[in-house]
Chains A and B, each alone.
Chain A
Amino acid sequence: MQEFLQAAIIGVSLGAQYALLALGFTLIFGILGVVNFAHGGFYMLGGYVAYACVSGLGLPYPLAVLVAVLATAALGYLFELFMLERLVDDHLATLMLTLGLYLVISTGVLTVFGPLSMQFEFPVTGAVHAGPIYVPLENLIVLAVCSTAIVALYLVLFRTDLGRALRALADDRAVAMAQGLRPRLLFPLAFALATGLAGLTGALVTPILALSPGVGDPVLATSFLTVILGGLGSLGGAALAAFIVGIVEAYSSVYFGGSIGALVLFVLVLLLLVFRPTGLLGREIRGA
């Protein structure tokens, strides 16, 4: 019973982190039709920017997180505006561009910060223990920030003109443009929003786990797996799938071990693709 409850706590905590990553990833695919292979790079960069702000500039951690979000969002904005925009409908070109950006980010980080892990600690440590069950305080804080960010993203996308415009472009770009919406203005904003979310996750999670030049590698696989499960381009699906992935990962790892645990997730996605190719909440095809 103890392991069962602990696995539930771990699963929810993992799910919140995966949700932030997957929402950004699916946002870019849903609106631009681009699979962002640099998503892990923005996660990693968020961690390094926050680290540099704390250790180099002496900024307080919350401010460092904010700088990381702004920096990754700004890089995403500029990258979309100057590199992706002209080739946004060419899937091979965007694949190469985003993959290239990931290599540039990871090599840049390796060159500037070196290959070793950084000493980057979350400002709050410790855990709430209830008998044999424990909840790390840092996970509670990350869960709260992630939940707030998810709600804020929902409000932006579903309660503001910007959100309506972005969703209109995702639904049918030609009709949206005929209504006066300008992709050249809105696509970079959507990209910045998504990369800012990845940067936020990196700044929050890397001090809890580890910060090294390789931390972005698994992020892409996890994000991909989550959004495929949820339905490519579906925001609700990505959020739902993130918590499913987190909980399945936690329970399967606790009860079957680390090797089979990873396998269970991929089997789950394979089965879903066989029986429901559009994912949990995905539509048959995106309009853009």
Chain B
Amino acid sequence: MKSRCLVFAAAAFALGGGAAYAQGGCELKLGAMGPMSGGAAQWGLGMEAAATLAAAEVNAQGGLQVGDKKCHVTIISYDSKYTADGAAAGSNGLASQDIKFIIGPVGSPENTGIKPVAARNGQLAWNASYAKNALEAKYPLMFHIAPGPSAWADTLIKTAKQTFPMKSVALIAPNDQGGTDIVSVDAAAYRDNGVTTTEEYYQRGTTNFAPIITRVLALHPDVVDTASSPPGDAGVIIKQLRLAGFGGPIGRLGGPGTDEILRVAGGLDVVKNFYWFETVPTEDPKVRAIDDLYRKLVGKEPVGGTSFWADLPAARLTLKAISMAGTIDDVQKVAEVLRKLPVEDPNMGKGIWSGQKAFSINQELFFPFGVGIIKDGKNLGVKKVEPVM
């Protein structure tokens, strides 16, 4: 009898507490979208982790101040599987739960799928795609987490050429928009720097790259660049290039994932000579501190990889804009506030709004980025580069 009373008391307390929460507080649901299974899962789970950490930060302070209310922020995740239809379905799925703000998606195919659907649903979203049309003026509620290669490829190539003199490069990437858009921009940047280029594409899902490598090596390039190939693919490509006897440098003017590339390829001794783009200066202690913050506030190990770090400012700025706009429903008003916010982040430092030149719309975050070099099997580190328009 005593235990039954306790159960009733607990239930009454829970119901009472819930009612009080419903009357006095509010709940802000934030969408997190990206590939959370399959080969690119690291990038989608990074997006989810960024949204989760930003939410945990404001919840730790009693919630997000929106007008005169404190809103508890919850994250609703959606696995868009790196596909256009997955992201479009995700936008609708999140809209059906009255979610108006989405941190994600990640890839170019996803971005192609979500843009028209999210616009119809009146959702504000952040994509991390490197597509040539990552942003479009006709979709003003779409924001961009970081710039594509048009903003940093030239710097990367000039830095790499100081360490690895080169006259020709072969670029390898998947044959969908996630590969072709990036490779075409990378190739133009190489040519502008006096390096001749050849482009080689493969079907996404390819596991054994030996035939493609045979084809590439027949061209005798000085450098092979894995561009936007997923990190797992890039690791296998490098491993098989070295096995085939290719001794030249390998570049990566594409997405993050160097740790995973090194793991798959077999380590520094195998990779040997390598230069790559990092979306964030990974050796900055303030940037690395994000992982500790995640452990402290979320109570779990971070997903790993550097894309999580790069995605975090977008989630934080979105919450800040919602708070300053004083609404969780008026997306246009939040977007207006967001566009005027200074690009600052406690961990990333100061950045700039960019995108006008590449997309005719200035809705792209551009924080300091990094250029990494491995020479003769020795990691020379990631050099921090300040953003310039």
Contact = CB atoms under 8 A, between A and B. Distances in A.
B215 interface: yes
Given A134-B243, A210-B235, A115 B42 contact: yes
A214 B211 CA distance: 21
Given A210-B236, A217-B205, A257-B201, A114 B37 contact: no
B203 A262 contact: yes
A118 B265 CA distance: 10
Interface in A106-143: 106-107, 110, 114-119, 121, 125-127, 129, 134, 136
Interface string A212-231: 11110110010000000000
B214 interface: yes
Interface string B38-73: 111110010000000000000000000000000000
Contacts of B260: 116-117
Given A106-B37, A257-B200, A249 B42 contact: no
Which of A3, A115, A210 lies at the interface centre, i.e. has the most chain B CB atoms within 10 A of its CB?
A115
Which of A217, A253, A261 lies at the interface centre, i.e. has the most chain B CB atoms within 10 A of its CB?
A253
A257 B203 contact: no
Contact of A214 (B37, B212, B243): B37
Nearest to A139: B210
A258 B38 contact: no
Interface string A130-159: 000010100000000000000000000000
Contacts of B243: 125-127, 134, 136
A212 B39 contact: yes
Interface stretch (A6-14, A235-243, A267-275): A6-14
Contact of B201 (A13, A210, A259): A259
Q: What range describes how many residues of B lie at the interface?
A: 35 or more
Given A3-B218, A213-B37, A259-B202, A134 B245 contact: yes
Nearest to A265: B203
A136 B41 CA distance: 30
B160 to A, nearest CB: 25
Nearest to A251: B211
B198 to A, nearest CB: 11
Given A116-B42, A214-B232, A257 B215 contact: yes
Interface in A151-186: none
Contacts of B215: 3, 253-255, 257
7 contacts: A115-B304, A218-B207, A249-B211, A250-B211, A253-B211, A257-B215, A259-B175
Given A6-B214, A116-B305, A215-B207, 18 more contacts: A10-B210, A13-B210, A107-B37, A115-B42, A117-B231, A117-B235, A126-B243, A127-B243, A127-B244, A134-B244, A209-B236, A212-B232, A213-B41, A214-B39, A217-B38, A250-B211, A258-B202, A262-B206
